[in-house]
């Protein structure tokens, strides 16, 4: 629903002046000859009317021309002797002279008034159009839309066949085209401000018409407004870039310190355990030795998980997190992760609810990592012997996986934030795990979110879209077991 | 004495493996490049090869192909848990199994023993296999669970036969599909899924705590029950 900006042309076209100047007296003459008035007064009135009509329709010049032509026609056709420019009667001389003076004055005054009015209307509409352009250019709307709307308003206002804007600022370029770019001679207007030139505006009038001087001025003003919009966009982008850069470097610093911390913690445990084992001055009991060795084992697993997540994070940052997609059965990935993590999951009670699901186009290694991260968090926040539920089920055109624990839960206001890398300090690297998980799920065209679990706790779910919908067997399989 | 050829470019890994395998009574040869590996496999004819896929000189898959041109020594591939496609390529090139790095020695030794056992029993086809309460009579195509006959469809039986034919070995999707369904079916992994699930249900195996069939997502399946 574009606003309408139709502008009357500021100047009446020459063709219209000529046609009106000839047509108005010609019609009056025709009527006069048809009616054959008894007295000259009738013919005189007809021609006076023609003068007013010409002035109203085509302005002052037409009014004056119609006066002169009317005077000649009256003289030739209606004063005796007929069909000559001689005037026999003295009364006729007075009448004709009066007609000429009155007609000239009327044509001049009416024509000027009409022209003034047209100009005023146009000026007002021009002002409105430029005001619209100014508001648009500073509106903060997307550049493409601003430029497109302005091109549309110009097409409407100037009754153009088409209008095209080609401009670029920085590494942004924008092209907008409204209407058809064929017709009369195209008018090229540079989009520039001060020294800088950003592109050009091309206005194509209708076939046979050309862009008038008034219209050209208006196009130039509009082009300046587009330049303003471009500069604003470029400034906005610079500000946003600067802000983003600041945030990035802040995040990088936080990430760096957190990664260092998270890497050192397991290393410290490993080193402490191994040096204890290597001590020669104390004899450790066999179960103490086993404890220390188990510490080493658990901490190397933790390091391995952490390194996996850091690697993925590096891929995310480099924009290189591209899933190696293949037809993947999510329930099989769940099964495999539970099997691999059996030792780690021994301190909780794991229940799986697996319904028949179609295969999804996914990278099984990355989905494995998401599940590992979610289960890792669930175990970490679960009370001893707490229940962790893993469910896999079809959901519309996706497969939904949910991992539910009965830990302390995440308050609603933090449920978005926990997916940001290191948003909540380092809870054993879980912040990183969720951030990576989200990146992976998004790379698969899915989504991931947190809800509260019924009866307290956290339910993290993610959806993976199904590429090819296989027939879904709705037989529900509920398997229960200690993993 | 059983000889194991360890191929890895990391000296620390070679040292740890040598120590541990040595303690378990294996004779260990360790080399650090693919060229040395091929040479050693040819000259010393080891009983088993542990091959790291990330070697400095040759692509691991090429090493497997070259070794396979003259030897059917069991090859277990070691690789970081990253790209399933690389593992599938190694298995298709002729590797017997893979173990993801970092691995536990326990797991590696179990795979190593399984591979050696398969090799030892490769020439004598057993008419009947027993896995705990499950018996598969290959000659009569008869399957019993706790003494009761299990009714399997032709395809289910063919799949079971393929799986138990190489206990412990990781069988890729492509291999199983070609073997059971035929050459045109190598991409139809969902067939496998459906039949593996059916087999599990009929044989009393659970996906959450598998005793018979283990899934390796994106790669294939492995029959994990020990025969005997």
Least Cα distance to A295 among A320, A316, A268, A317 occurs for A268
A96: its two tokens? 């004709």
| Cα dihedral B219→B225→B227→B228 (10° resolution) | 170
3-state secondary structure chain A: CCCCCCCCCCCCCHHHHHHHHHHHHHHHHHHHHHHCCCCHHHHHHHHHHHHHHHHHHHCHHHHHHHHHHHHHHHHHHHCCCCCCCCCCCHHHHHHHHHHHHHHHHHHHHHHHHHHHHHHHHHHHHHHHHHHHHHHHHCCCCCHHHHHHHHHHHHHHHCCCCEEEEEEEECCEEEEEEEECCCCCCCEEEEEEECCEEEEEEEEECCCCCCCCHHHHHHHHHHHHHHHHHHHHHHHHHHHHHHHHHHHHHHHHHHHHHHHHHHHHHHHHHHHHHHHHHHCCCCCCCHHHHHHHHHHHHHHHHHHHHHHHHHHHHHHHHCCCCCCCCEEECHHHHHHHHHHHCCCHHHHCEEEEEEECCCCEEECHHHHHHHHHHHHHHHHHHCCCCCEEEEEEEEECCEEEEEEEECCCCCCHHHCCHHHCCCCCCCCCCHHHHHHHHHHHHHHCCCEEEEEECCCCCEEEEEEEECCCCCCCCCCEEEEECCC
Q: Are A167 and A13 spatial neighbours (Cβ–Cβ below 8 Å)?
A: no
Whose CA is closest to B78, among B116, B48, B119, B47? B48
Helices B60-68, B34-44: inter-axial angle, 10-degree rounding: 20
| Residue of higher predicted confidence among A84 and B29 | B29
Q: How far is B123 from chain A (nearest CA, A)?
A: 32
Q: Which two tokens stand for residue B71?
A: 């030897």
Contact A5, A128 (CB under 8 A): yes
User: What residue has token string 């899933």?
Assistant: A323
Tell which wins on pLDDT, A261 or B171. B171
A-B CB pairs within 8 A amount to 66
Q: How far is C-alpha A338 from the chain's CA centre? A: 44
Distance between CA A400 and CA B152 in Å, rounded? 32
Nearest to B206 among A363, A364, A479 (CB): A479
Rounded CA-CA distance B6/A455 in Å is 53
CA distance B216 to chain A (A): 7
Strand duo A326-328 + A360-362: pairing? antiparallel
Q: Which residues of chain B are within 8 Å of residue A387 when distances are taken between CB atoms?
A: none
Do B217 and A368 lie within an 8 Å CB cutoff?
Answer: yes
Chain B hits for A324, Cβ within 8 Å? 83-85
| CA count, 13 A, side-chain hemisphere, A142 | 8
B190 → closest Cβ in A297, A324, A359:
A359
* Contact across the interface for A328 and B218, Cβ inside 8 Å: yes
**Confidence (pLDDT) at B126:** 66
Closest by CA position to A323, among listed A440, A432, A433, A437: A440
Q: Report yes or no: B153 at the A interface, CB cutoff 8 Å.
A: no
d(CA A21, CA A66): 5
Of the pLDDT bands very low, low, confident and very high (cuts 50, 70, 90), residue B27 is very high
Distances in Å between the Cα of B41 and the Cα atoms of A331, A401, B31, B193 are 40, 46, 11, 37
Token duo for residue A479: 């398997």
pLDDT for residue A481: 32
What pLDDT is attached to residue A479?
Answer: 30
Quote the pLDDT of residue A475: 31
Closest by Cα among B219, B200, B190, B176 to A357: B190
Q: What is the pLDDT of residue A217?
A: 86
Nearest CA distance, B209 vs chain A (angstrom): 6
Cβ of B215 under 8 Å from any chain A Cβ? yes
Q: Which of A326, A331, A483 sits opposite B209 (nearest CB)?
A: A483
Q: Write out chain A's pLDDT in tens, 483 residues.
A: 344 566 666 667 788 888 988 888 899 888 888 887 766 778 888 888 999 999 888 888 888 999 999 888 888 888 888 888 888 888 888 888 888 999 899 989 998 998 888 888 888 888 888 888 888 877 778 888 888 888 888 888 888 888 998 888 877 788 888 888 888 888 888 988 888 888 898 988 888 777 778 888 888 888 888 888 888 888 888 888 888 887 777 766 766 776 777 788 888 889 888 888 888 887 888 888 888 898 898 889 888 888 888 887 777 767 677 788 888 889 989 998 998 888 888 889 999 998 888 889 888 888 998 999 999 889 988 888 899 999 999 988 899 999 999 988 888 888 887 887 655 444 444 467 888 888 888 888 888 999 988 888 899 999 998 864 333 332 322 233 333
With an 8 Å Cβ cutoff, is B190 touching chain A?
yes
Q: What is the pLDDT of residue A473?
A: 32
> What is the per-residue pLDDT for A10?
60
pLDDT for residue B45 = 92
Q: Does B83 touch chain A (CB under 8 A)?
A: yes
Q: Which residue of A has its CA nearest to B216?
A: A336
Query: Which residues neighbour B199 within 8 Å (Cβ) at sequence distance 6 or greater?
Result: B152, B156, B159, B160, B205, B213
Of residues A308, A365, A481, nearest to B218 (C-beta): A365
Task: Pick A335's closest partner by Cβ from B84, B207, B218.
Answer: B207
Strands A162-169 and B134-137 come out as: unpaired
Smallest CA–CA distance, residue B82 to chain A, in Å, is 7
B101 touches A at CB < 8 Å: no
- Given a cut of 80, is residue B25 above it in pLDDT? yes
- Angle between helices A60-73 and A90-137 in degrees, nearest 10: 160
Across the interface, whether the CB atoms of A336 and B215 are under 8 A apart is answered yes
Nearest to B129 by CA among B21, B226, B26: B226
- Say if CB A5 and CB A125 are below 8 A apart: yes
Contact A300 B102 (CB under 8 A): yes
A391-418 b/e with 16+ CB inside 10 Å = b? bbbbeeebbbbbbbbbbebbeeeebeeb
Residues in chain A: 483
DSSP codes joined into one string, chain B: --EEEEE-S-HHHHHHHHHHHHHTT-EEEEESSHHHHHHHHHHH--SEEEEES--SSS-HHHHHHHHHTT----EEEEEES--HHHHHHHHHHT--EEEEES--HHHHHHHHHHHHHHHHTTTS--SEEEETTEEEETTTTEEEETTEEP---HHHHHHHHHHHTSTTPEEEHHHHHHHHT-GGGTT-HHHHHHHHHHHHHHHT--SSS-SSEEEETTTEEEE-SPP-
Alpha-carbon dihedral sign for residues A308, A314, A317, A321: negative
Cα torsion A220, A225, A230, A231: sign: positive
Mean of per-residue pLDDT scores for chain B: 88
Residue A12: CB atoms within 10 A of its CB come to 20
Q: What value of ipTM does the predicted structure carry?
A: 0.71
Helix axes A430-443, A364-381, angle to 10 degrees: 150
- Out of A308, A365, A481, the one facing B209 most closely (by C-beta) is A481
Structure tokens at A187: 């008018």
Nearest to B208 among A333, A338, A470 (CB): A338
Judge whether A312 is closer than 8 Å to chain B, CB to CB. Answer: no
Q: Is B224 on the interface with A (CB under 8 A)?
A: no
Neighbours of A81 (CB within 10 A): 10
**Spatial distance between the Cα atoms of A99 and A96, rounded to a whole number of angstroms:** 5
Q: Do A359 and B206 touch (CB under 8 A)?
A: no
Q: What is the pLDDT of residue B65?
A: 94
Read off the tokens for A146: 């601003």
Mutual angle of helices A40-58 and A14-35, in 10-degree steps = 160
């Amino acid at each position: 629903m574009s606003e309408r900006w139709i502008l009357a042309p500021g100047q009446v076209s020459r063709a219209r002046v000529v046609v009106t100047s000839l047509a108005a007296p010609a019609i009056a003459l025709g009527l006069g000859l048809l009616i054959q008035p008894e007295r000259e007064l009738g013919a005189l009135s007809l021609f006076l009317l023609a003068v007013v009509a010409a002035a109203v329709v085509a302005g002052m010049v037409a009014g004056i021309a119609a006066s002169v032509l009317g005077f000649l026609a009256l003289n030739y056709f209606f004063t005796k002797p007929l069909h000559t420019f001689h005037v026999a009667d003295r009364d006729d001389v007075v009448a004709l002279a009066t007609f000429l003076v009155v007609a000239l004055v009327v044509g001049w005054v009416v024509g000027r008034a009409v022209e003034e009015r047209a100009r005023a209307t146009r000026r007002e509409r021009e002002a409105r159009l430029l005001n619209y352009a100014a508001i648009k250019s500073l509106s903060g709307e997307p550049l493409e839309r601003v430029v497109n709307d302005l091109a549309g308003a110009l097409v409407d206002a100037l009754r153009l066949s088409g209008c095209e804007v080609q401009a670029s600022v920085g590494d942004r370029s924008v092209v907008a085209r409204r209407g058809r770019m064929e017709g009369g001679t195209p008018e090229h207007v540079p989009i520039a401000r001060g020294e800088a030139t950003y592109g050009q505006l091309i206005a194509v009038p209708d076939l046979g018409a050309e862009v008038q001087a008034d219209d050209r001025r208006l196009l130039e003003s509009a082009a300046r407004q587009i330049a303003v919009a471009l500069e604003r966009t470029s400034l906005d982008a610079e500000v946003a870039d600067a802000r983003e850069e600041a945030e990035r470097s802040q995040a990088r610093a936080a990430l760096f310190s957190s990664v260092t911390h998270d890497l050192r913690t397991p290393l410290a445990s490993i080193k402490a355990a191994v040096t204890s084992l290597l001590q020669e001055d104390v004899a450790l009991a066999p179960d103490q030795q086993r404890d220390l060795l188990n510490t080493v084992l658990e901490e190397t697993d933790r390091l391995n998980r952490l390194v996996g997540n850091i690697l993925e994070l590096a891929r995310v940052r480099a924009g290189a997190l591209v899933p190696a997609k293949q037809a993947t059965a999510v329930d099989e990935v769940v099964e495999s992760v539970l099997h691999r993590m059996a030792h780690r999951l021994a301190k909780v009670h794991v229940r799986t609810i697996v319904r028949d699901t179609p295969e999804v186009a996914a990278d099984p290694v990355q989905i494995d990592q998401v599940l590992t991260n979610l289960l890792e968090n669930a175990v970490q926040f679960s009370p001893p012997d707490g229940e962790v539920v893993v469910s896999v089920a079809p959901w519309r055109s996706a497969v939904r996986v949910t991992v539910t624990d009965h830990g302390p839960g995440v308050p609603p206001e933090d449920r978005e934030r926990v997916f940001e890398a290191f948003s909540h300090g380092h809870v054993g690297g879980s912040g990183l795990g969720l951030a990576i998980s989200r990146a992976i799920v998004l790379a698969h065209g899915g989504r991931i979110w947190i809800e509260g679990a019924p009866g307290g706790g956290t339910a993290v779910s993610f959806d993976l879209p199904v590429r090819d919908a296989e027939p879904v067997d709705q037989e529900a399989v509920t398997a229960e077991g200690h993993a | 004495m059983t000889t194991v050829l360890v191929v890895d470019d990391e000296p620390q890994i070679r040292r740890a493996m040598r120590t541990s395998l040595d303690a378990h009574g294996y004779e260990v040869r360790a080399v650090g490049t693919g060229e040395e590996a091929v040479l050693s496999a040819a000259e010393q004819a080891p009983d088993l090869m542990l091959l790291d896929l990330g070697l400095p000189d040759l692509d691991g898959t090429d090493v497997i192909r070259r070794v396979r041109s003259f030897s059917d020594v069991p090859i277990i591939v070691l690789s970081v848990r990253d790209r399933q496609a690389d593992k599938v390529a190694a298995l298709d090139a002729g590797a017997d199994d893979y173990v993801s790095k970092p691995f536990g020695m326990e797991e590696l030794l179990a795979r190593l023993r399984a591979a050696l056992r398969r090799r030892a029993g490769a020439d004598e086809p057993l008419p009947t296999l027993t896995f705990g309460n499950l018996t598969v009579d290959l000659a009569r195509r008869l399957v019993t669970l706790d003494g009761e006959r299990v009714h399997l469809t032709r395809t289910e039986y063919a799949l079971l036969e393929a799986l138990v034919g190489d206990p412990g070995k990781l069988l890729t999707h492509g291999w199983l599909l070609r073997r059971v369904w035929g050459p045109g079916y190598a991409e139809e992994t969902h067939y496998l899924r459906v039949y593996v699930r059916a087999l599990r249900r009929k044989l009393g195996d659970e996906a959450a705590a598998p005793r018979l069939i283990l899934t390796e997502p994106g790669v294939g399946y492995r029959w994990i029950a020990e025969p005997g």
